[in-house]
Amino acid sequence: MLTIGIPKETTQGETRVALSPTISKQLIKQGFKICLEQNAGVHCCFSDKDYEESGAEIVDLKKIYQCDLIVKINPPNKKEVSMMKKGITLISLLFPYSNASIITMLAEKQANVLSLDSIPRTSLAQSMDVLSSQANLAGYKSVLLGGVEMGKIFPMLMTSAGTIKPATVVIFGAGVAGLQAIATAKRLGANVWVSDIRPETKEQVASLGGKFIEVGELNNVTTEGGYVKEVSTDFLDKQKEAVLEKVIDADLVITTALVPGKKAPLLISDEMVSKMKAGSVIVDMAVSQGGNCELSELNKVVSKHNVKIVGEGNLPATLPINASELFAKNIQNFVLHLTEGGEFKWDLEDEITAGSLILKNGDIFQESLKKITTVEPA
């Protein structure tokens, strides 16, 4: 029987927990033992009593890191890695290309490490895709945050004192977060314009009631795993020109563009912000990876050129109950995929296992990671 340990998240501003009481109860019925650190779910209104009633055990942190499997949301810090027993298995959002030193420490622990952000974005893996489940919530919340800062309402409103025009929302990127932002803004009554360089998104945008901003030559853009491959500066310049007219007229601009393993592309320059109308708002959902807006500041709301720029770096953590529930369900599906009879089966021919596996018994599994770590083969 595998023992799964759930520590309380230590990253500043993190309110989520990796496992909910509901999923804890289900995993226990499926043959696993669950141990949680005290108050692990306190920010989600999940009490220790809730977990104990699910059949889980509340233990101290030392015992957590002696479990067979550790499940976290954020990458472990050096102190947490130092507490782990040798041969432990870790599942978390690891972002390995940005955390080479942590990977090296985990290798010294002869750990098995699976990175949730490396799960292939395929139909089979959809139920395990924490990036998508969390991005859905982030896209929803981005519109609400923009509305709070905007100083006006989204829908058209006809009153005896006159008619208020609907707000204009411009969204960069029609991925999971962008599509949810479109749907949310439309439900609130806004006019929504959308820019994306992937040709297949045009139909998705239209299905949600958004209007697609044409850039041209979209058929030359290639994608991989649901993400755009890095595109030329020339193409991005053309995109900026195409959307500038809409951005200038916008009440709210939401940016969602990310390139895996790289700095987020710059889509909104200082000059573009200076041309926006006073009182408009930008919500930069890529701020934690450098930002799509030149003027964004991480975890701050700043005002530049009479435009407010929201740089909330962890939007899912502002909805900790739902975010934790979805994350936990993804984890349950992933753990069940990786195990059989309550033990790891380590099927390295399986694309989900092979795609997410970073370390196997302390050895680097992904060839591309060998260039950025100091891990020596065992």
- How far is it, in rounded angstroms, from Cα 240 to Cα 268? 8
> Among this protein's residues, is 126 annotated catalytic?
yes
Question: Which member of 227, 249, 269, 350 is catalytic?
Answer: 227
* Cα 224 versus chain centre, distance: 17
Which residue is associated with the tokens 């529930």?
A: 325
Strands 357-360 and 363-364: antiparallel
- How far is it, in rounded angstroms, from Cα 255 to Cα 143? 11
Residue 263 burial (10 A CB sphere; 0-12, 13-18, 19+): exposed
3-state secondary structure labels for all residues of 167-228: CEEEEECCCHHHHHHHHHHHHCCCEEEEECCCCCHHHHHHHCCCEECCCCCHHHCCEECCEE
- How far is it, in rounded angstroms, from Cα 347 to Cα 357? 11
Query: What are the backbone angles phi and psi of residue 90, rounded to the nearest 5°?
Result: -125, 135
Query: Per the structure block, which two tokens stand in for 309?
Result: 């720029």
Question: Which member of 20, 54, 129, 332 is catalytic?
Answer: 129
- How far is it, in rounded angstroms, from Cα 121 to Cα 258? 15
Question: Which member of 38, 47, 101, 126 is catalytic?
Answer: 126
Question: Which member of 48, 50, 110, 121 is catalytic?
Answer: 121
Which residue is associated with the tokens 């209007």?
A: 211
> Among this protein's residues, is 132 annotated catalytic?
yes
**Are 314 and 9 spatial neighbours (Cβ–Cβ below 8 Å)?**
no
Whose CA is closest to 326, among 47, 68, 136? 136
> Among this protein's residues, is 121 annotated catalytic?
yes
* Cα 313 versus chain centre, distance: 10
- How far is it, in rounded angstroms, from Cα 99 to Cα 115? 11
Question: Which member of 20, 24, 92, 132 is catalytic?
Answer: 132
| H-helix segments, the chain | 21-29, 48-54, 61-64, 78-83, 100-108, 130-150, 176-187, 201-207, 233-249, 270-275, 320-338, 351-356
User: Known catalytic residues?
Assistant: 121, 126, 129, 132, 227
